[in-house]
């Protein structure tokens, strides 16, 4: 069976092609993380929701006109990578572009589930191109089941959204970290990610983009993918310390989620984080921010908050935020 749908987008075909192929554009409406080698035979991997990554190879690439690729889900025996095919064709029409998406090679049950997914994301694409923005994807908010890797993917989605909303005139604003302005905190967050990536033997890229979200997202995508492939056994060298891989993964969650909150406060943005995710990362923080860690000055003293405080506020208070 096949899913077949056509939508209208008020953009020229070249702009639409970028929205369906460029990682920075895909993250706005469809993916948490994305990499793609944009050539026939090139591989792609898109984390659609935390814990669910589609992968395959490109079979047709015609810039501004057509894109086709094999499709399947990592870890799936029912529809593994390469088991089906998606084609996207673009046609210039008055006022914009017709986008037709056809997904073939599906069973009846697979078609039903994928139709729900494609309708959801194509609606988000329409909203992005007509309104200029799209609300956070509720499907990303609370991974189920949740673990230290899927929670990092959900936290990454939040961090990317906040970084995307920062304006250049906000870089000197103060943040809940007294020693850091917004600009300094952005560099601190990226530097922390670089150290975690290096512990996984990922080559740190030369910075070529001034876009804060792109810098973080590209490196975080590699880091989380490497964690997922490697697993959490054994130890990693983080700077001068040798630490359990589970500890480093927990630290990644804290760096992404807590500093996203710091940056949101410093730039007057709304931070939308699921209580389920905040509660889970609070649990990770309680395992990670032990007294010896606080003694090193990496986190301030825990702040008392009412028992009825939200999960997010308790997470922030535990990591020393007022």
- Model confidence over 194-231: pLDDT tens digits? 999 999 999 998 877 789 999 999 999 999 999 999 99
Q: For the domain bounded by 139-318, which CATH number is listed?
A: 1.20.120.450
Q: What is the pLDDT of residue 294?
A: 77
Tell me the pLDDT tens digit for each residue of 3-41: 999 999 999 999 999 999 999 999 999 999 999 999 999
pTM recorded for the entire structure: 0.95
Q: How far is CA 157 from CA 58, 71, 100, 151, 250, in A?
A: 25, 22, 27, 10, 16
Domain ranges of the chain: 3-131, 139-318
**Contact status, residue 320 vs residue 301, Cβ threshold 8 Å:** yes
- Which fold, 3-131? Alpha-D-Glucose-1,6-Bisphosphate; Chain A, domain 4 (3.30.530)
- Tell me how long the chain is: 322
Q: Is the dihedral of CA 203, 229, 227, 86 positive or negative?
A: positive
Q: Do the bridges between strand 3-9 and strand 33-36 make them parallel or antiparallel, or are there none, so unpaired?
A: unpaired
Q: What is the pLDDT of residue 209?
A: 75
Give the lowest-confidence range in 34-43, 114-123, 222-231, 313-322.
313-322
Tell me the pLDDT tens digit for each residue of 127-138: 999 999 999 999
- Compute the distance between CA of residue 144 and CA of residue 274 in angstroms, rounded to an integer: 12
Q: Is the pLDDT of residue 301 over 90?
A: no
**Contact status, residue 19 vs residue 25, Cβ threshold 8 Å:** yes
């Amino acid at each position: 069976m096949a899913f077949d749908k056509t939508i209208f987008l008020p953009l020229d075909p070249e702009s639409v092609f970028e929205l369906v192929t460029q990682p920075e554009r895909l993250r706005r409406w469809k993916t948490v993380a994305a990499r793609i080698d944009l050539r026939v035979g090139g591989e792609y991997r898109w984390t659609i929701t935390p814990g669910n990554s589609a992968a395959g190879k490109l079979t047709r690439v015609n810039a501004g006109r057509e894109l086709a690729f094999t499709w399947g889900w990592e870890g799936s025996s029912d529809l593994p990578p390469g088991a089906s095919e998606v084609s996207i064709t673009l046609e210039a029409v008055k006022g914009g572009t017709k986008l037709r998406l056809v997904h073939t090679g599906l069973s009846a049950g697979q078609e039903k589930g994928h139709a729900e997914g494609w309708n959801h994301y194509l609606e988000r694409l329409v909203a992005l191109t007509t309104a200029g923005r799209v609300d956070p994807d509720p499907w990303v908010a609370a991974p189920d089941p949740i673990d230290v890797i899927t929670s990092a993917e959900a936290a990454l989605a939040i961090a990317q959204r906040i970084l995307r909303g920062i304006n250049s005139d906000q870089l000197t604003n103060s943040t809940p970290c007294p020693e850091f302005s917004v600009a300094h905190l952005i560099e601190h967050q990226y530097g922390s990610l670089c150290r975690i990536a290096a512990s996984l033997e990922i080559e740190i890229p030369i910075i070529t983009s001034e876009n804060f979200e792109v810098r973080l997202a590209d490196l975080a995508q590699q880091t989380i993918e490497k964690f997922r492939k490697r697993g959490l056994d054994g130890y990693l060298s983080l700077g001068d310390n040798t630490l359990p891989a589970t500890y480093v993964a927990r630290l990644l969650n804290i760096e992404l989620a807590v500093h996203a909150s710091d940056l949101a406060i410093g730039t007057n943005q709304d931070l939308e984080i699921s209580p389920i995710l905040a509660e889970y990362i609070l649990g990770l923080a309680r395992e990670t921010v032990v007294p010896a860690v606080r003694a090193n000055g990496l986190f301030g003293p825990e702040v008392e908050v009412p028992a009825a405080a939200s999960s997010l506020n308790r997470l922030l208070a535990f990591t020393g935020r007022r």
